[in-house]
Amino acid sequence: MNRSNAKRSPLSGKPLRLPGQSIADEISDVAYDGVLAPLVVSLFMVFIAALEWWRYAINMKPNPWVFTAGALLACGYAVIRVIRTKKRLRELALGRDGERAVAQYLV
């Protein structure tokens, strides 16, 4: 076997997409936008509030109430986004599974 044949792909064309792949991709996008992003923001706000409470505990003239209020608002926002996103993710998963089932019967 020469070197040029070892580097060449055995596929003659682009591989086919999996049934439901576009919906699976959308599930990933929706999960990131609706779950991961709000959780990261709320965890960041909780970290800031904890830092301010630590400053308060060691008498450094803190103002933890502002950051605590921000953390509570961010957590509330995250909870609302996660609840709304769960419904959308269930719908998308059902659509993906339906496409896969149809593809199995067509093959």
Consecutive 10-residue averages of pLDDT for the chain (107 residues):
57 67 87 87 89 84 78 89 88 84 77
CA dihedral for 16, 22, 86, 38, sign (positive or negative): positive
Say if 4 falls within a structural domain: no
pLDDT at 93: 85
pLDDT value at residue 76: 92
Contact 78, 34 (CB under 8 A): no
- Whether 15 is in a domain gets the answer no
Residue 43 belongs to a domain: yes
Domain that holds residue 47: 20-106
Q: Please give the Cα distance from 35 to 26 (Å, whole number).
A: 13
* 55 domain-assigned: yes
14, containing H or E segment: none
pTM of the model: 0.54
Tally of domains in the chain: 1
Q: Is residue 81 part of a domain?
A: yes
The pLDDT, as a whole number, for residue 61 is 75
What pLDDT shows up at residue 52?
81
